[in-house]
Structure 1
Amino acid sequence: MSPRSLGPFTVSSIGLGCMNLSHAYGHPPDAPQAQAVLHAALDAGVTLFDTAALYGFGANEERIGPVLAPHRNRITLCSKGGMAGVAGDDGVLRRVIDGSPQALRRNCEDSLRRLGTEVIDLYYLHRWDKRVPIEESVGEMARLQQEGKIRALGLSEVSADTLRRAHAEHPIAALQSEYSLWSRNAELGTLAACQELGIAYVAFSPVGRAFLTGKLQEVGSLVKGDIRTAMPRFAPEAYARNLRLLAPMQTLADQVGCTLAQLAIAWVLHQGSHVIALPGTTRVDHLQEDVLGGALQLDANVLSALDALFKPEVIAGDRYAPQGQGEVDTEKYAFEKKG
């Protein structure tokens, strides 16, 4: 993997999204398996590790912190606040988006404690709380930086306009949003804005939440609690339509001499030198497969064929159900609201 710049850091072009190790995709792996994935990533040269206060309501940070602690000086550790588990009157933790200064400070300090570190290298606003001006949230994050609790600021799932407003308040090191062959909202403005402003674009779910690996052929196998069961493009009818794209993609992968996952990751990395791929996995063999995608060089013909095959208008289903779509600040969502 060739190194890429992310704010003040130089990181591997492929990072590891750690959410899968305790959250979101059904039954999480046990501690030994999660540790094996983290160690395999370190052995493979991954230097960017990403978690959040939300993942497992803090359990993810508690899981990865001790494993990564001995390697702290050679990795870039990222977490997120502004969306976390908050206990209601009944004591049950529920997901709450809160970008107020008080919440961000509390989230950050809780994350520092759970991770067992004195400083978080890159701290993201997980979701823009539209009740709070973006400048106010970013201003508090800047104060956390001044206090030495974080080293750089990031945003997640915001539009180009919001990104520019935030960057004017304080330099933003990275924007993290979903980006893959079948999720291409980045191309409506944020990808270009990041390049213009010198901001890294960290692309999560570069293999489309397993769709682009070709290994998830039947969505009926998804277990209760898997977040994909609520996503429109994973509904059976939409998914069946989307699966038709994989056969021609496989033909291209065969031409290149790689797997579908590797081709998907390589495509993401070819979208700009400021782009970093952030896949997640619970398996060592999948991680090793993903990392190899960072070494692929795709020629213009392959890139053009992939662009044509995965035109946004041919993808069946939205990324999120209406509630989730309303919580992100993407160009598509902003356009639909204005329309």
Structure 2
Amino acid sequence: MKSRTLGAGGSEVSAVGLGAMNISGFYGAATEGQAFALFDRAQELGVDHLDTSNAYGNGHSEETIGRYFKDRGAVFRIATKAGICRDPNTGARYFDNSAKHLTDSLEASLVRLGVECVDLFYVHRRDASRPIEEVTETLAGLVRTGKARAFGFSEIAPASLRRAAAIHPVAAVQSEYSLATRAPDLGLVQACAALGTTLVAFSPVGRGLLTDTPPNRARAMESGFLKDNPRFIEPNMTANLAATDRLRRLAAEMGLPAATLSIAWLLAQGGHILPIPGTRNPDHLAEAVRGATLDLSATDLARIEEALPVGWAHGDRYSESQWNGPECYC
């Protein structure tokens, strides 16, 4: 497994990580046995970076990882997040980037994970009412305590990244980025490269669209997220499946699974790009990780771009309610 770093001079991790949202039930039910089998397979494949959040299953993902660590040892470099809250009475989502909330949340995450320090601590969603410079100072202080080795932000705009980086180096920014979602090409990829920040790409296979087994509408309906996502609602879904058939045909011609080719394309976009595919299926993880073994030629990249040119996707990546939190910049 090739490696990449979490920020300039930061922790060295596998070039492909593993997102642990799926084990929290976000895309459907998952058992602890399934999660442990997935983590075991990740180790076999050389994956050593595991990404989670206190919001995934209201701490369930972290607790599952903690039990795995207790049984197997702390074998992954861990990233976790805080900042998303829910009103206990209404269930409405809101964001809290206060020093108290972030400090208390990190402490609670360490307890659930059963570790004394995480490699990376993200603000999961930015609280727009609080200056990002203030939040950056809070995060830098948490690093100084030794409870996080580095910090980052999820779903922020390039302008916000520059403001934060003017206060303290930002190890990572997490954003949806794939052949299906190219918005980061309009400034975020470039800003991260210029500032020595790793761009951690979640949903790198387009929530399944860029694989050999894309979800159909029935499968999408099993997920509280996908059933309301514009790309998985008709007529967009049929159009998106037809469009991604071009990628599947190209991958087959090259003797590769579509997910492998999708990850290889993403890694080719820059040495600071780190995909974190999320899955409950060990075989699907192996397909994604295989992408790190490929060195695509200029001709290969051109053929991929021809199959799925920028702007091919039908429907936004989020519904109106799902857009609550991510910063828009283009």
Gaps of 5+ in 1: 333-339
2:240 equivalent in structure 1: 242
Aligned pairs for 1:161-310 within 5 A: 161-310=159-308
Q: What secondary structure sits across from 1:203 in the alignment?
A: strand
Q: 1:40 to 1:93 in 2, by over 3 A?
A: farther
2:17 equivalent in structure 1: 15
AA aligned to 2:2 is: S
2:49 equivalent in structure 1: 48
Q: 1:45 to 1:222 in 2, by over 3 A?
A: same
Q: What secondary structure sits across from 1:209 in the alignment?
A: helix
- The separation in 2 between residues aligned to 1:75 and 1:25, in whole angstroms, is 23
1:37 equivalent in structure 2: 38
**Preserved contact between residue 104 and residue 137 of structure 1 (Cα < 8 Å):** no
- The separation in 2 between residues aligned to 1:71 and 1:44, in whole angstroms, is 17
Q: What secondary structure sits across from 1:124 in the alignment?
A: strand
Count residues in correspondence: 327
Q: What secondary structure sits across from 1:148 in the alignment?
A: coil
Q: What secondary structure sits across from 2:100 in the alignment?
A: helix
**Preserved contact between residue 26 and residue 222 of structure 1 (Cα < 8 Å):** no
Q: 1:26 to 1:261 in 2, by over 3 A?
A: same
- The separation in 1 between residues aligned to 2:98 and 2:194, in whole angstroms, is 29
**Alignment pair present for 1:80 and 2:86:** no
AA aligned to 2:14 is: S
- The separation in 1 between residues aligned to 2:324 and 2:68, in whole angstroms, is 35
Partner deviation per Cα, 1:291-337 (whole Å, 9 max, x = no partner): 112112211122112223323332110011113224211323xxxxx
**Preserved contact between residue 252 and residue 302 of structure 1 (Cα < 8 Å):** no
Query: Residue 322 of structure 2: which of 313, 321, 324 is its match?
Result: 324
**Preserved contact between residue 180 and residue 203 of structure 1 (Cα < 8 Å):** yes
- The separation in 2 between residues aligned to 1:173 and 1:25, in whole angstroms, is 28
Query: Residue 104 of structure 1: which of 102, 105, 109 is its match?
Result: 102
Bigger Cα displacement from structure 2, 245-254 vs 142-151? 245-254
AA aligned to 2:156 is: V
- The separation in 1 between residues aligned to 2:248 and 2:281, in whole angstroms, is 22
**Alignment pair present for 1:160 and 2:161:** no
Q: CA RMSD in A?
A: 1.7
**Preserved contact between residue 54 and residue 95 of structure 1 (Cα < 8 Å):** no
Percent identity for Structure 1 against Structure 2: 39
Q: What secondary structure sits across from 1:314 in the alignment?
A: coil
How far did 1:131 drift?
A: 1.3
AA aligned to 1:188 is: L
- The separation in 1 between residues aligned to 2:145 and 2:50, in whole angstroms, is 23
Partner deviation per Cα, 1:162-194 (whole Å, 9 max, x = no partner): 000011121100111110001011100010111
**Alignment pair present for 1:59 and 2:57:** no
- The separation in 1 between residues aligned to 2:318 and 2:215, in whole angstroms, is 20
Q: What secondary structure sits across from 1:331 in the alignment?
A: coil
**Preserved contact between residue 2 and residue 15 of structure 2 (Cα < 8 Å):** yes
Partner deviation per Cα, 1:255-311 (whole Å, 9 max, x = no partner): 321001111111111101111110011011111222112112211122112223323
Q: What secondary structure sits across from 1:276 in the alignment?
A: strand
How far did 1:252 drift?
A: 1.7
How far did 1:95 drift?
A: 3.9
- The separation in 2 between residues aligned to 1:222 and 1:55, in whole angstroms, is 19
Q: What secondary structure sits across from 1:42 in the alignment?
A: helix
Query: When the two structures are superposed, what TM-score results if normalisation uses the length of structure 2?
Result: 0.94
Query: Residue 24 of structure 1: which of 19, 26, 32 is its match?
Result: 26
How far did 1:153 drift?
A: 0.7
Bigger Cα displacement from structure 2, 191-200 vs 290-299? 290-299
Bigger Cα displacement from structure 2, 294-303 vs 258-267? 294-303
- The separation in 2 between residues aligned to 1:4 and 1:138, in whole angstroms, is 23
**Preserved contact between residue 79 and residue 121 of structure 2 (Cα < 8 Å):** yes
1:145 equivalent in structure 2: 143
- The separation in 1 between residues aligned to 2:221 and 2:65, in whole angstroms, is 24
Query: Residue 119 of structure 1: which of 98, 117, 120 is its match?
Result: 117
